[in-house]
Amino acid sequence: MTTVSILIPAYNVEDHIEECLTSCQVAVEHAVSSGVIARQDIEIIVADDGSNDGTVLVSKSHADRVLQLGHLGRPQTMNAALDAVCSEWVCWVGGDDRLTPDGLTHLLSKVIEVQDAQLVYGITRYVTADGKTAIGEFKPDQYYRDPDAFMATILVGCPFYMGGVLIQKSVYDRWGKLDVILERSQDHEHFARIAGKIETVRVDEIIYQYRQRPKTYKEMAFEWPYLKHVYARILKQYSLEDLFPTIRDKSPNVKEAMGQYLLAQQYMKIAAWDEAESACIKSLNLVDAVETKRILEKIRLYREGMMQINTQQQIAEKEWAASVLDIQNKETPLWSIDECAKQDNWQGVIQDLCIQHNNEIVLVTNTMAFPEFYGLLCMEYQDVAQYLMPISKDDVIELIQQTGRTCMISQYVEYDADVTRRIPYDETDTTCRFGRLALRIAAR
């Protein structure tokens, strides 16, 4: 008989823990009524990380058990929760997040269907901080019996959220629990550690609702040293061929050169300039490629603080936005959305710019380095923003609210792992979260 522990690490989430626990109770009742598990075989446990608000009091009236721990930190709290249970499976839920009503049923049904599954995951829906509005979705790739696909993701990013994942406890017993050194990215490191070693399977249903809050650039940059640590761990454990399967059929020199080039690009994403430069130099020592030289020059400019916002690409973006929005007033500034994301108080920055520039600015982008920021931006300014889209503003807002998309697509391409070809996307594809976007924003 399958046994499950729903584990909820919590710290000062008094305002959300009741909603979280209620969602877990509903999910359990649904799973029991569906016949995929008996009520005595599942438990809801809150592991409190030394909260000093009402988290514990609320938890005691809703959870089956509450573990009251000192303030250990998130990874230590999660490890303590693992030590406290004997169930065959564990399912993690953040103290301010929610399981969907039928999410647990879908996960357990997949466990019954796929006998060799050791980790089951599904689609995560992003919701606003108040939990009322969907602003996007994260649908991980399918990795079942495809270890190369799993391996190819672990440097690109965390393959799936820890929240809403159903994982056999034996995975932690064999491959170790969470790394207590990492204040951030401990889930990424653990998934990287088990990549290619266990069978994972995806459920094509929304399992989890993740409460998304706007992050400043500084907050995101705070996580980069931890990711750098994760990358170092990954590179000790796996070869470049493991991490970038598309290079395997190349000659030895080309294989290593392409691997180092791809590694440099990943390091750039977390501002690890020394490591990125070193990878580029290693690549160039093997293959004298123009593209690698271009990346190396960009790395050096960034590291020296000389990379200005008006790069050739961004100038082209602003010209594109000006032509489509038919901007007649040359005083209207075109501002990169990425610039906004890097401000501590982006709402205030946008409002001040509007006031300074004839009560109107236009923000443009063709990247989605901060997808959660764009979703919040669209919702924040839906009453005063003119969207650059081939459909009406009302249609765009309806799409955002009903499907969780952050924006419609105007032009979009995605580079695949070997960075040698482009994949065009259908502009009507409502599953895309990436694209070129412009907003004309007026002062309120």
State yes or no: pLDDT of 33 exceeds 70: yes
In this structure, are residues 136 and 126 in contact, taking their beta carbons and an 8 Å threshold? yes
Strands (E), 182-314: 200-211
User: What digits encode the pLDDT tens for the residues 277-289?
Assistant: 999 999 999 988 8
What's the DSSP call for residue 44? E
Residue 209: count of CB within 10 angstroms of its CB = 24
Q: Which CATH superfamily is domain 4-211 in?
A: Spore Coat Polysaccharide Biosynthesis Protein SpsA; Chain A (3.90.550.10)
Query: Where does 247-390 have alpha helices with state H?
Result: 252-269, 273-286, 290-303, 312-325, 337-341, 346-356, 371-380
Q: Which two tokens stand for residue 325?
A: 């929005």
So where are the chain's domains?
A: 4-211, 239-303, 312-442
Best-predicted range by mean pLDDT (80-84, 317-321, 368-372, 437-441): 80-84
Look at the block and give the residue holding tokens 């961004």. 314
Q: Which of 11, 420, 71 is nearest to 244 (CA)?
A: 420
88, 138, 366, 375, 408 from 414: Cα distances, Å: 40, 17, 11, 20, 15
Total residues found in the chain within this entry: 444
Reported as a pLDDT band with limits 50, 70 and 90, residue 316 is: low
Query: Residue 116: exposed, middle, or buried by beta-carbon count in 10 A (0-12, 13-18, 19+)?
Result: exposed
**Mean pLDDT rounded to a whole number for the chain:** 75
Share of the chain above pLDDT 90, in %: 37
18, 323, 429 from 302: Cα distances, Å: 45, 30, 34
pLDDT of residue 423: 30
Top-confidence residue, 150 or 415: 150
State yes or no: pLDDT of 48 exceeds 90: yes
State yes or no: pLDDT of 151 exceeds 80: yes
pLDDT of residue 273: 83
State yes or no: pLDDT of 271 exceeds 80: no
Round the CA-based radius of gyration of the chain to a whole number and report it: 23
